[in-house]
Amino acid sequence: MIARYSEPLANLDYLYDRLAAAHRLAPHAKLAITTNTDYLTPVVLDRLLTLGLTRIYMSIYLKANVRWTLDVARGYTNRLVKKLGLQLLSSNETRVSLQCTYRYKTLDLHATCHNWNEYGTDRGGTLEQYIQKERIGPCRDPFETFVIDYTGAVMPCCALRSDLPQGIKFAVGNLSEPGTTIFDIYAGQLSAWRRSLVTFGSKTSPCTTCTHRDIPEELAASIAARMEKHLQHIGRYQHFSSRNRKQPDGLVIG
Ligand code: SF4
């Protein structure tokens, strides 16, 4: 997926070139981008399809000074759907967000319009307005993602940025260094990071107050009990239980 705090459609020729290379090198990979939709048109959608793109995540932002309500979010979303000629597949409304899925020919599209005054995470403790409570739940982000910044820096998760002074110390490797591979980093430094986030309990910086993909409080107790049972079943409970958990080997934390 091409994302990471940037707008890939701002430089279409470059994006088309990168997608073509990715498709050539990994023809079976599912390619996706995240966009704010400003530059997204039916012509661009068709071109992206021919380059092998399979999914687009659309982040819909309101204009400055527009207050978020579900009605406003529906209005913004509907205008985008009309502009692009999308077919609605599903819609999910909550108190703080509107999330929809669409189809355009063979392309999957996911749209989110969040109320950023109430919905957001502290990005590894860097956004004070979102520091609200301690994280107790595990984090699956380092298990499911492999995050590479434009410099080649590999970050443990999408919440941490290597271009911020507070974030660069959390980089677990740099693929621009000769001889470095994604496999070494995934099985090396990143495995220690993953181990530190497997179970319930207090987390060290930068995860202490991060709520990104956290488990809802009402589900925490039952999931914790099932996880403990499973860890005991596979003989790893002592290794991962919070009383015995060690700081990840070789990790520079905090
Ligand atoms: S809890 Fe830690 S690893 Fe997970 S998203 Fe937040 S900062 Fe990243």
Q: For a pocket test of ligand 1, which of 4, 127, 141 has the largest count of ligand atoms closer than 8 A to its C-beta? A: 141
Atom of ligand 1 nearest to the CA of 121: 6
Res 189: pLDDT? 84
Q: What is the pLDDT of residues 172-210, one digit of tens each?
A: 999 999 999 999 999 988 988 898 898 888 999 999 999
Is 210 close to ligand 1, i.e. is its CB under 6 Å away? yes
pLDDT, tens only, 100-125: 999 999 999 999 999 998 888 898 88
Of ligand 1's listed atoms, the one at least distance from the Cα of 142 is: 3
- Does the pLDDT of residue 249 top 60, yes or no? no
φ, ψ of residue 12 in degrees (nearest 5)? -65, -45
Mean residue pLDDT across the chain: 90
Predicted TM-score (pTM) of the model is 0.86
- Distance from residue 76's CA to the centre of ligand 1 (Å): 30
Beta bridge partners of 127: none
- What mean pLDDT is predicted for residues 53-73? 96
d(CA 49, CA 54): 7
70 has pLDDT over 70: yes
Distance from C-alpha of 61 to C-alpha of 55, rounded to nearest angstrom: 19
Between CA 202 and CA 91 the distance in angstroms is 35
- Split at pLDDT 50, 70, 90, the class of 243 is very low
